[in-house]
């Protein structure tokens, strides 16, 4: 009896569940060609479908009706194709509704539409520009996946490509008069390398600096603030440096003046000084006080880097000879930390401050180099010791051999 | 001076009858034939065990068992203690040579059929000693607490866990818990420096005592030739002729040990990190490699039974057969005597091939 009751309950639940998720639209549209076609596979991977929403949630109509006339009747609220300009408000009808969104994803923000309206995209959309990006241009339409899905157009690894679809299209961007080389430069940058080569999903992409829904090109005044979100210490030190006021007076933005914006290359010691690739010479000329200080700072960094490299080479050589130098190798990391710190301190543009870090690093590198030299002295001592020991053993063996021969000849 | 030495000797002679011992040493002989060189392997194994005891005792002066201290103490021995590097390197190299020599000694005794009556117990104590030496190697391997030893012990202790019924209790006993921790280290330390040495000392006393009691075995072929032609029988005096030769073998072993330790000092590696992923291609010490490689290659299921478990049982059977070999060396009822040398050759070839395969395999 109990078994029958349970079976009946299961059947009722299954029927109800089927009725709730019934989506008759797919019966026809899964067989239609683009742009009207939506395959069952695409639909099944759509985040909205996974949350139990049907086509009717956006397009209206009655997805439970098998008759196409009823399903797509105006009386059932069928809207048909959604116009590009209608998209933001349609999406916002749910995504700006905190009460409703709580049911599906309590953690999701509901201010995207508000932010969008403050962005250049949103402002142009409000003025009737049909070319600017709306929600579906970035997130996709029927293949819409959550941002955490690597196949999503707004997954961190795909964002730059998504933005580039418009912003790297010179013809498309022509009316707006802005450059279209950002994506090409970004692909050469250290940030792109971190994202794609090292797989660091926290590495900056377009939206990290420009924002996403509230996308707006940051003005000169706040570029340093954007970089400071990650490069906190460098920004703090720059704020105390003489360059802060000088850059502001000259109308230069902060970080990007030396490091560039989209095409940020891996920074190196070559950037400071008056060498071929140094950025200081963009403003300073040979012989001025700033140039002299830049050259000194470059030399201090180079000296420490060379001292660490020499120590490392010696310790590695000793290690290959079988010497135990792991403590010195461990200590060497402190010298590397000092060099790293010095490279951050560069942003004070103070030779005195930099010297504190490089001196600390040099002292450690000197100790580790001495440990390497000591290891090699010990290595040579062992070789000599081995030679004497083997000779002594050989002598004893010869002596024993002669003694035995003598003994047995008697 | 000479009078004082004579007095001391006289004091001992009064109590221990040294002249009787001297007479016995003069009377004791060792057979001399074309296989006599194999007699030195046992002595060299004993010498290497002595080296292990001495270097181990010196290492004990500074070694501290414990997950937080073991690595650092070995590092200290190798960098700060005078000749600490040499003692540790000699201990490590000697351990490997000892196992090699013990295997060589076992197979030489097997091929010369020296396990025959009345030397059954000598053979059995020798097999048990070899197993103990492997136990020394396994327990000592973890003591430096580096990455390699940590993960090799992890893999090694998982192997007996496959044995039905007793597998899991054995694993828990060896590890002192579910995982390799400081408890495992102190357990292995206890085994390595107290329990195994105590058993080994008893077995060595028994083994050497039995050798002295029965004398050196003469291979059956040589024995038959001597029986036919008694004039061909040759012997040398145990003392000093054989002892001096043995001393030469020990010096050779000492020179080899010193050279290996100085030219290829045993490295320490990186301190074990239980939270780090296991390094790729982790392998046990070479003397366990043939078993490890066999268990790697064995199919997961054989006739519906767990392949690894069957492999372990097979090695258990081989061990039992080796232990009881003197009792299987007989003509009746299955002519097993004729099979022993052939099977031993096959097993030796298998061990060598699997060791090389395990060494080169990724």
pLDDT digits (tens, 9 = 90+) for A236-266: 999 999 999 998 898 888 888 899 889 999 9
Query: In this structure, is residue A70 part of a structural domain?
Result: yes
**Residue pLDDT, tens place only, A197-211:** 999 999 999 988 888
> How confident is the model over A380-397, as a mean pLDDT?
96
Q: For residue B287, give every residue at least 6 positions away whose Cβ sits within 8 Å of its Cβ, in sequence order, or none.
A: B96, B99, B100, B103, B134, B137
| pLDDT over 80 (residue A21) | no
**Boundaries of domain holding A23:** 1-81
- In this structure, are A309 and A390 located in the same domain? yes
**Residue pLDDT, tens place only, A73-95:** 888 888 888 899 999 999 999 99
Chain B residues with CB-CB distance to A323 below 8 A: 265
To the nearest whole angstrom, how far is the Cα of A397 from the nearest Cα of chain B? 6
The domain limits of chain B are: 26-275
Q: How far apart are CA A104 and CA A99, in angstroms?
A: 10
Assigned token pair, B110? 């097997």
| pLDDT over 70 (residue A12) | no
- In this structure, are A295 and A366 located in the same domain? yes
- In this structure, are A36 and A113 located in the same domain? no
Last residue of a domain, one of A81, A116, A131: A81
- In this structure, are A113 and A155 located in the same domain? yes
Query: In this structure, is residue A351 part of a structural domain?
Result: yes
Domain at B26-275: CATH architecture: Up-down Bundle (1.20)
- In this structure, are A319 and A402 located in the same domain? yes
> How confident is the model over A202-229, as a mean pLDDT?
76
Report CB contact under 8 Å: A327, B268: no
* Residue B335 backbone zone (phi > 0: left; psi -120 to 50: alpha; other: beta): left
Chain A residues with CB-CB distance to B267 below 8 A: 322, 324
Measure CB to CB from residue A404 to each of B244, B262, B267 and give the nearest one.
B244
Report CB contact under 8 Å: B263, A407: no
**Which uninterrupted H or E stretch holds B236?**
strand B235-237
Report CB contact under 8 Å: B241, A394: no
Chain A residues with CB-CB distance to B265 below 8 A: 322-324
The most distant pair of C-alpha atoms in chain B lies apart, rounded to whole Å, by 80
DSSP state of B271: B
Assigned token pair, A236? 């703090």
Give φ, ψ of B283 to 5 degrees. -135, 155
Q: How many CB atoms lie within 10 A of CB A85?
A: 14
Measure CB to CB from residue B251 to each of A322, A393, A407 and give the nearest one.
A393
Measure CB to CB from residue A397 to each of B79, B241, B248 and give the nearest one.
B248
Q: How far apart are CA A112 and CA A159, in angstroms?
A: 17
Q: Cα B62 from chain centroid?
A: 25
Chain B residues with CB-CB distance to A385 below 8 A: 262
- In this structure, are A113 and A68 located in the same domain? no
**Touching check for B75 and chain A: CB below 8 Å?**
yes
Report CB contact under 8 Å: B251, A383: no
> How confident is the model over B139-143, as a mean pLDDT?
96
Measure CB to CB from residue B262 to each of A386, A393, A407 and give the nearest one.
A386
Sign of CA dihedral B104, B110, B113, B119: positive
Q: pTM of the full predicted structure?
A: 0.71
Cα angle A294, A295, A301; round to 5? 90
Among B75, B249, B255, B264, which would you mutate to test the A interface (most chain A Cβ atoms within 10 Å of its Cβ)? B255
Percent of chain A with pLDDT over 90: 60
Number of domains in chain A: 3
Measure CB to CB from residue A382 to each of B75, B240, B262 and give the nearest one.
B262
- In this structure, are A25 and A135 located in the same domain? no
**What pLDDT, on a 0 to 100 scale, did the predictor assign at position B335?**
76
pLDDT band at A227 (very low <50, low <70, confident <90, very high): confident
To the nearest whole angstrom, how far is the Cα of B150 from the nearest Cα of chain A? 18
Q: Which of B54, B24, B34, B30 is nearest to B43 (CA)?
A: B30
**Touching check for B241 and chain A: CB below 8 Å?**
yes
C-alpha distances in Å from residue B74, one per residue of B64, B71, B141, B163: 8, 5, 13, 34
| pLDDT over 70 (residue A278) | yes
Assigned token pair, B142? 């973890």
- In this structure, are A112 and A59 located in the same domain? no
**What pLDDT, on a 0 to 100 scale, did the predictor assign at position A100?**
92
Residue, of A386 and A39, whose pLDDT is higher: A386
| pLDDT over 80 (residue A217) | no
Report CB contact under 8 Å: B75, A396: no
Q: Does the predicted interface ipTM exceed a cut of 0.95?
A: no
Whether the bond between B240 and the residue before it is cis, its omega within 30 degrees of 0, is yes
Give SS3 for B128: helix
Measure CB to CB from residue A404 to each of B245, B252, B255 and give the nearest one.
B245
Query: In this structure, is residue A253 part of a structural domain?
Result: no
**Residue pLDDT, tens place only, A311-367:** 999 999 999 888 989 999 999 999 999 999 999 999 999 999 999 999 999 999 999
Give φ, ψ of A168 to 5 degrees. -105, 5
DSSP string, B34-86: TTGGGHHHHHHHHHHHHHHHHHHHHHHTT---STTTHHHHHHHHHHTSTTHHH
Q: How far apart are CA B122 and CA A353, in angstroms?
A: 77
CA of A407: which chain B residue's CA is closest? B241
- In this structure, are A129 and A69 located in the same domain? no
Assigned token pair, B325? 């070999």
The most distant pair of C-alpha atoms in chain A lies apart, rounded to whole Å, by 128
**Touching check for B243 and chain A: CB below 8 Å?**
no
Give SS3 for B326: helix
Report CB contact under 8 Å: A390, B258: yes
- In this structure, are A56 and A152 located in the same domain? no
Task: Supply the mean pLDDT for chain B.
Answer: 93
**What pLDDT, on a 0 to 100 scale, did the predictor assign at position A41?**
85
Give φ, ψ of B278 to 5 degrees. -65, 135
Query: In this structure, is residue A271 part of a structural domain?
Result: no
pLDDT band at A222 (very low <50, low <70, confident <90, very high): low
**Residue pLDDT, tens place only, A139-188:** 998 889 999 999 999 999 999 999 999 999 999 999 998 899 999 999 99
**Residue pLDDT, tens place only, B48-63:** 999 999 999 999 999 9
**Touching check for B268 and chain A: CB below 8 Å?**
yes
**Touching check for B78 and chain A: CB below 8 Å?**
yes
Percent of chain B with pLDDT over 90: 77
B235-237 and B301-302 beta bridge pairing: unpaired
C-alpha distances in Å from residue A52, one per residue of A17, A55, A81, A115, A154: 10, 10, 21, 27, 22
Report CB contact under 8 Å: B254, A326: no
**What pLDDT, on a 0 to 100 scale, did the predictor assign at position A13?**
44
Give SS3 for B293: helix
Assigned token pair, B248? 């030469």
Measure CB to CB from residue B244 to each of A327, A389, A403 and give the nearest one.
A403
**What pLDDT, on a 0 to 100 scale, did the predictor assign at position A16?**
43
Chain B residues with CB-CB distance to A324 below 8 A: 75, 78-79, 85, 265, 267-268
B301-302 and B305-306 beta bridge pairing: antiparallel
Q: How many CB atoms lie within 10 A of CB A202?
A: 10
Chain B residues with CB-CB distance to A383 below 8 A: 262
Query: In this structure, is residue A10 part of a structural domain?
Result: yes
Whether the bond between A249 and the residue before it is cis, its omega within 30 degrees of 0, is no
- In this structure, are A298 and A189 located in the same domain? no
C-alpha distances in Å from residue B4, one per residue of A275, B7, B9, B21: 87, 5, 9, 21
CA of A409: which chain B residue's CA is closest? B241
């Amino acid at each position: 009896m109990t078994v029958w009751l349970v079976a009946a309950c299961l059947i009722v639940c299954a029927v109800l569940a089927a009725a709730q998720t019934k989506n008759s639209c797919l019966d026809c549209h899964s067989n239609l060609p683009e742009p009207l076609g939506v395959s069952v596979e695409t639909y099944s991977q759509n985040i909205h479908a996974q949350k139990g929403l049907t086509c009717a949630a956006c397009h209206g109509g009655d997805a439970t009706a098998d008759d196409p006339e009823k399903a797509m009747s105006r009386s059932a609220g069928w809207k048909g194709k959604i116009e590009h300009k209608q998209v933001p408000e349609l999406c916002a009808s749910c995504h700006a509704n905190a009460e409703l969104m709580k049911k599906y994803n309590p953690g999701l923000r509901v201010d995207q539409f508000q932010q969008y309206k403050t962005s250049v995209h949103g402002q142009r959309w409000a003025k009737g520009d049909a070319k600017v990006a709306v929600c579906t241009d970035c997130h996709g339409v029927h293949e819409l996946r959550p941002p955490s899905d690597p196949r999503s157009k707004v997954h961190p690894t795909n964002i730059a490509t998504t933005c580039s679809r418009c912003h790297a299209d010179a013809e498309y961007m022509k009316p707006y008069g802005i450059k279209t080389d950002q994506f090409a430069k970004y692909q050469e940058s250290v940030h792109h390398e971190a994202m794609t080569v090292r797989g660091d999903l926290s590495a900056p992409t377009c939206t990290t600096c420009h924002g996403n829904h509230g996308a707006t090109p940051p003005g000169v005044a706040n570029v340093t603030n954007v970089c400071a979100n990650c490069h906190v210490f460098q920004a703090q030190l720059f704020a105390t440096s003489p360059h802060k006021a000088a850059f502001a007076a000259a109308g230069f933005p902060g970080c990007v003046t030396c490091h560039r914006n989209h095409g940020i290359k891996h920074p190196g010691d070559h950037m400071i000084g008056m060498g071929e690739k140094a950025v200081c010479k963009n403003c300073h000329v040979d012989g001025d006080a700033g140039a002299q200080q830049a050259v000194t700072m470059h030399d201090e960094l180079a000296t420490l880097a060379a001292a660490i490299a020499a120590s490392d080479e010696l310790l590695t050589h000793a290690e290959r000879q079988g010497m135990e130098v792991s403590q010195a190798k461990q200590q060497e990391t402190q010298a590397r930390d000092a060099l790293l710190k010095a490279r951050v301190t560069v942003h004070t543009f103070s030779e005195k401050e930099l010297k504190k870090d490089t001196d600390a690093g040099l002292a450690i590198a000197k100790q580790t180099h001495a440990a390497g030299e000591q290891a090699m002295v010990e290595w040579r001592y062992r070789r000599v010791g081995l030679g004497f020991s083997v000779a002594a053993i050989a002598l004893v063996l010869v002596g024993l051999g002669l003694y035995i021969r003598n003994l047995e000849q008697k | 001076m000479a009078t004082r030495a004579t007095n001391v000797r006289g004091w001992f002679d009064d109590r221990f009858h040294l002249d009787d011992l001297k007479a016995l040493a003069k009377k004791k002989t060792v057979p001399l034939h074309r296989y006599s060189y194999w007699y030195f392997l046992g002595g060299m194994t004993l010498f290497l065990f002595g080296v292990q005891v001495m270097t181990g005792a010196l290492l004990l002066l500074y070694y501290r068992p414990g997950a937080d201290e073991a690595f650092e103490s070995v590092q200290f021995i190798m960098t700060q203690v005078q000749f600490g590097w040499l003692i540790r390197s000699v201990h490590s190299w000697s351990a490997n040579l000892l196992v090699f020599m013990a295997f060589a000694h076992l197979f030489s005794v097997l091929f010369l059929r020296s396990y025959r009556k009345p030397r059954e117990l000598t053979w059995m104590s020798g097999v048990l000693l070899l197993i103990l030496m492997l136990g020394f190697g396994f327990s000592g391997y973890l003591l430096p607490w580096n990455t390699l030893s940590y993960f090799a012990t992890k893999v090694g202790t998982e192997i007996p866990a496959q044995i039905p019924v007793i597998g899991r209790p054995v694993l828990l006993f060896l590890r002192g818990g579910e995982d390799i921790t400081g408890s495992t280290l102190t357990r292995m330390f206890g085994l390595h420096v107290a329990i195994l040495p105590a058993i080994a000392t008893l077995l060595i006393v028994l083994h050497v005592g039995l050798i002295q009691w029965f004398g050196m075995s003469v291979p059956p072929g040589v024995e038959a030739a001597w029986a036919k032609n008694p004039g061909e029988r040759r012997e040398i005096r145990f003392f000093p002729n054989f002892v001096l030769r043995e001393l030469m073998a020990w010096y050779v072993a000492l020179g080899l040990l010193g050279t290996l330790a100085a030219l290829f000092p045993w490295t320490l590696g990186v301190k074990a990190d239980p939270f780090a992923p296991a390094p790729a291609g982790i392998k046990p010490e070479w003397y366990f490699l043939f078993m490890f490689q066999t268990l790697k290659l064995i199919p997961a299921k054989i006739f519906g039974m767990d392949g690894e478990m069957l492999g372990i049982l097979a090695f258990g059977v081989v061990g039992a057969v080796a232990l009881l070999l003197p009792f299987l060396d007989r003509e009746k009822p299955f002519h097993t005597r004729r099979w022993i040398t052939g099977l031993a050759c096959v097993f030796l070839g298998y061990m060598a091939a699997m060791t090389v395969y395990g060494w080169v395999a990724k």
